[in-house]
Amino acid sequence: MRQPDIEIYLREENLDALTDWLGQQLGSLELKGWNGLTRHGTLMLDGHPIPMMIVRKAAGKWASVWFDSDATPWDTDLDCARAIHAAIGHEVRCSVGGWSEEQGDADVDLWMKVNEEGEAEFTWALKP
């Protein structure tokens, strides 16, 4: 089932590799300057704008990368994580599946990681 948006987590030192890949391989990428820890931008895919937002230090040294659209090349966060890991070779994390507030906090700390060892579920206790 296609998710309404896509969010992955990437270590901050790998953000340049991600944005280079997005702009070179998927479409044109326009990023605004940093406003504190947040950066907004638009990825153009086949003439369709995909709004995106990068938040540094979203989880310690991990940055959140959010694509605010259901028209991305990926059906799920995990599909995106797989593609980004394959492209840039760095670990990518994402939720185990879609989540809504109605589901409550069950499994809120259960995540997926995609890295050179493969894919695995793990507990990631994110601290605000």
HEC string of the chain?
CCCCCEEEEEEHHHHHHHHHHHHHHHCEEEECCCECCEEEEEEEECCEEEEEEEEEEEECCEEEEEECCCCCCCCCHHHHHHHHHHHHCCCEEEECCCCCHHHCCCCCCEEEEEECCEEEEEECCCCC
Answer whether residue 105 shows pLDDT above 60: no
Q: Which fold has domain 6-99+106-123?
A: TATA-Binding Protein (3.30.310)
pTM of the model: 0.88
pLDDT band for position 97 (cuts 50, 70, 90): confident
Question: Domain coordinates of the chain in residue numbers?
Answer: 6-99+106-123
Note the pLDDT tens digit of each residue in 61-92.
999 999 999 999 999 999 999 999 999 999 99
Tokens 């987590």 — which residue?
9
Q: Number of helices and strands (H, E) in the chain?
A: 2, 8
pLDDT-derived band of residue 18, with 50, 70 and 90 as boundaries?
Answer: very high
* Residue 57 Rama label (left phi>0; alpha psi -120 to 50; beta): left
